[in-house]
Chains A and B, each alone.
Chain A
Amino acid sequence: MFRRVKHWGPGLLLLAPTIILVGVFVYWLMFENFRVSLTNQHTAKPSNKYVGFENYTNLMADPNFQHSLWNLLILTVVFLAGTLFFGFLWAWILDKPAKGEGFFRAVYLFPMAVSFIASGVVWRWLLSSLQTDQSGGERTTGLNRLLDSVGLGFAQNDWWSNPTWGIAAIGVPAVWQLSGYVMALFLAGFRGIPEELREAARIDGCSEWKLYRHVIFPQLNPVMLSAVIIIGHMSLKLFDLIRAIVPDANTYDVQVPATMMWVKYIGSDYADAAAIGMILLVLVALVVIPYLMYTSRAEKR
């Protein structure tokens, strides 16, 4: 008995602080959040009456919450497609030995060094909705002013101030910010493919396109998957960028579950805020768990 304790005791002792801290600050808080989401705590007045999943069904039936989910979907699609496209494109260009690669790599990667809050302040100005042909048009700033001055005035639009597609405009700075990161992932992937493979393919008479199609792309799949997971779950949690660009938290056009949770929390609607939190947790889990399963299976292989 004692010998067995001696066997696993020190290891447990070493891990105990982590286990306790994670247990309390992650899992217990998660459970507590779930508990609150089952109560009818909709005002500041303390109340612990359990109502089952009523908050969830009410939220799902709420057109405002449906709109926020729709926004989240558009945002995720734009964010994912944009970062994958640009990230891959830049990595592909840089993959061919070119002059000044280090410089361009730094340029592309640089936006990631800026926090969402800081870049959001700049993008608020860039994405200002005023257009030159509207009343007060002389005050037009940002992208609309730029488009007008290069003769593309017709391309001006109201950016995020549009109830249906406005959220896609928030995807633009998000893409700007994280394309470089995806590029770095892909670049590492490209570099991980041994030169011998390419040479062997070329000797076998592969055209450049076939080389990519059958030799290189298949080997980039794991990189692609991690990029999708990382960008996807970031998009679900995206809050700071929206808050920095849109001055008022309670702006319908760009409401996503994360910002709606904040608005509910400020309004002392703790039960609804907790329920939205749980829904977000489930959404993130839906993205992350398949990835974890995939990697653990890959490791076993």
Chain B
Amino acid sequence: MRRRLTLVAAAAALGLALAGCGGAADTPAESAAPPSEATGNVGVFTWWADGSEKVGLDALVGVFNTDFPKLTFDNLAVAGGAGSQAKSVLAAQLKAGNPPDSFQAHAGAELQDYIDAEQLEDLSSFYADNKLTEQFPKDLVDRLTVDGKIYSVPSNIHRSNVVWANVDVLKKAGLDPAKPAENLDAWFADMDKIKAAGKTPLAVAGSWTQVQLFENVLLSSLGVDGYNGLWDGKTDWKGADVTKAIEAYKKALSYTNSDRDSLSDWAPATQLVEDGAAAYNLMGDWAEAKFAQDGKKAGVDYSYFPMPGTQGVFNFLADSFTLPVGAPNPDGAKAWLTTVGSAEGQSAFNKAKGSIPANITAKTDDFSEYQKSAIKDFSQDKIVSSLAHGAAVPVAWLNELSTAVSKFGGDGNVATLQESAAATAAKFAQ
């Protein structure tokens, strides 16, 4: 009995020693084998578990399987909470030193948290090997670059400042769906007419969709430079123009459905527009995929336009994939990233998800009308980073600001919101 125990102990010790060696010798970034020769499983972690997002991921996996038949895709998707469930699971796994081969993260400030925690490999040489810098727009590459290094491969680009409208409701209220309001005041005047016609003017859902509305009212009210300054400290949060913007947000909230906090996610709010119960919904362009899936026609059933006052501005967020430090199959992960960044992969994925390809060489001939307009806008508009989607500020900052915005939804106290937003900015801004 004792001998057997000793054996087990010895085996365990040996296993530990081997694992230790493996960890030390394997620096994935320097690994020599090309991705095409990689074998085994590639575990990819996302929160794309259903709906248009799942369809998009499946399309991407289809391309991956053709590109790399020797590799097996292992879907590690975690559903729920607009990614918050997935992020908590991921944080626990990364802390435990048990990362997946690749995981999804929003490009921009959200990625910064993982970089600061030294959980991501530098992908600069991967970009050079695959000539990706030439295939992505310069603006985007600039936003991905941190201290001269790039840590992720974007799979798509979304726009968050789009208003979706129900054509019928607008017509019945005496508005022309083809001529959206030019600025916030005109938009509020339109909403008064819709209210008079007995419909909810603006549909909104729980906390994060309110934050998204808030960020776009700020953008519309303060302009591009004023909005960007909020995140880098150049705009004073305590200023009179911010007060004015928050008052405009208060006015916008007064047009919304009173059960906003009860709606479980963005989709029920968009559904209100689809059903003709509400006129407008400010939502990212993943709403396009929902309208398409429900068989609605652009221009006939619904229309879209940039948030009034933000014409010529593209409020951007991007999903991207990473190579975590200590990934079990780094070569496989690089193969996955190759597909994610490739023109074919991006065409297949974005056609299904409703977003636009980050890779400008991707074929987009058979994309929807909205997507084509977004591609055009992205190439010529001014680009700003979305607050609600982790592009503008780190998650901790976003969280505190979200609490303040959520509180404002109840008490409507402009001064309190402004003060706490200023205090939060002072705490986090460098």
Interface residues of A (CB under 8 A from B): 42-46, 64, 124, 127-131, 134-136, 138-139, 158, 160-163, 166, 246-253, 255, 263-269
| Residues from chain A with Cβ under 8 Å of B396 in the complex | 42-43, 267-269
17 pairs, CB–CB < 8 Å, chain A vs chain B: A42-B396, A44-B91, A46-B117, A46-B118, A131-B258, A136-B259, A136-B277, A136-B278, A160-B261, A248-B206, A249-B84, A250-B208, A250-B406, A251-B261, A252-B409, A266-B399, A268-B117
Task: Give min CB distance, B203 to chain A, whole Å.
Answer: 9
Q: Of residues A46, A160, A162, which shows the largest number of chain B Cβ atoms within 10 Å of its Cβ?
A: A46
| Residues from chain B with Cβ under 8 Å of A249 in the complex | 81, 84
Known contacts A128-B262, A252-B410, A135 near B199 by CB under 8 Å:
yes
Known contacts A130-B257, A268-B113, A250 near B399 by CB under 8 Å:
yes
| Residues from chain A with Cβ under 8 Å of B400 in the complex | 267
| Residues from chain B with Cβ under 8 Å of A266 in the complex | 84, 87-88, 91, 395, 399
Q: Of residues A42, A163, A166, which shows the largest number of chain B Cβ atoms within 10 Å of its Cβ?
A: A163
Report yes or no: A252 in contact with B406, Cβ–Cβ below 8 A. Answer: yes
Known contacts A250-B399, A250-B403, A163 near B410 by CB under 8 Å:
yes
Q: Does B166 contact A (CB under 8 A)?
A: no
Q: Does B294 contact A (CB under 8 A)?
A: no
Known contacts A265-B88, A266-B87, A136 near B257 by CB under 8 Å:
yes
Q: Of residues A264, A268, A269, which shows the largest number of chain B Cβ atoms within 10 Å of its Cβ?
A: A268
Known contacts A64-B407, A263-B403, A43 near B261 by CB under 8 Å:
no
Q: Does B264 contact A (CB under 8 A)?
A: yes
| Residues from chain B with Cβ under 8 Å of A163 in the complex | 407, 410-411
Q: Does B292 contact A (CB under 8 A)?
A: no
Report yes or no: A130 in contact with B395, Cβ–Cβ below 8 A. Answer: no
Report yes or no: B263 in contact with A247, Cβ–Cβ below 8 A. Answer: yes
Known contacts A44-B113, A130-B262, A161-B410, A248 near B208 by CB under 8 Å:
yes
| Residues from chain B with Cβ under 8 Å of A128 in the complex | 259, 262
Q: Smallest CB-CB separation from B263: which chain A residue?
A: A247
Q: Smallest CB-CB separation from A127: which chain B residue?
A: B262
Q: Smallest CB-CB separation from A67: which chain B residue?
A: B407
Report yes or no: A251 in contact with B207, Cβ–Cβ below 8 A. Answer: yes
Q: Does B200 contact A (CB under 8 A)?
A: yes
| Residues from chain B with Cβ under 8 Å of A127 in the complex | 262
Report yes or no: A248 in contact with B406, Cβ–Cβ below 8 A. Answer: yes
Known contacts A45-B116, A251-B206, A267 near B258 by CB under 8 Å:
no
In angstroms, Cα B400 to Cα A48, docked, is: 22
In angstroms, Cα B72 to Cα A218, docked, is: 69
Report yes or no: A136 in contact with B206, Cβ–Cβ below 8 A. Answer: no
Task: Give min CB distance, A140 to chain B, whole Å.
Answer: 8
Report yes or no: B399 in contact with A264, Cβ–Cβ below 8 A. Answer: yes
Residue from B198, B278, B402, B411 within 8 A of A250 (CB atoms): B402
In angstroms, Cα B395 to Cα A46, docked, is: 15
Q: Of residues B113, B265, B396, B411, which shows the largest number of chain A Cβ atoms within 10 Å of its Cβ?
A: B396
Task: Give min CB distance, B256 to chain A, whole Å.
Answer: 9
In angstroms, Cα B87 to Cα A106, docked, is: 41
In angstroms, Cα B398 to Cα A134, docked, is: 32
Report yes or no: A136 in contact with B262, Cβ–Cβ below 8 A. Answer: no
Task: Give min CB distance, A277 to chain B, whole Å.
Answer: 15
Q: Does B394 contact A (CB under 8 A)?
A: yes
In angstroms, Cα B91 to Cα A10, docked, is: 42
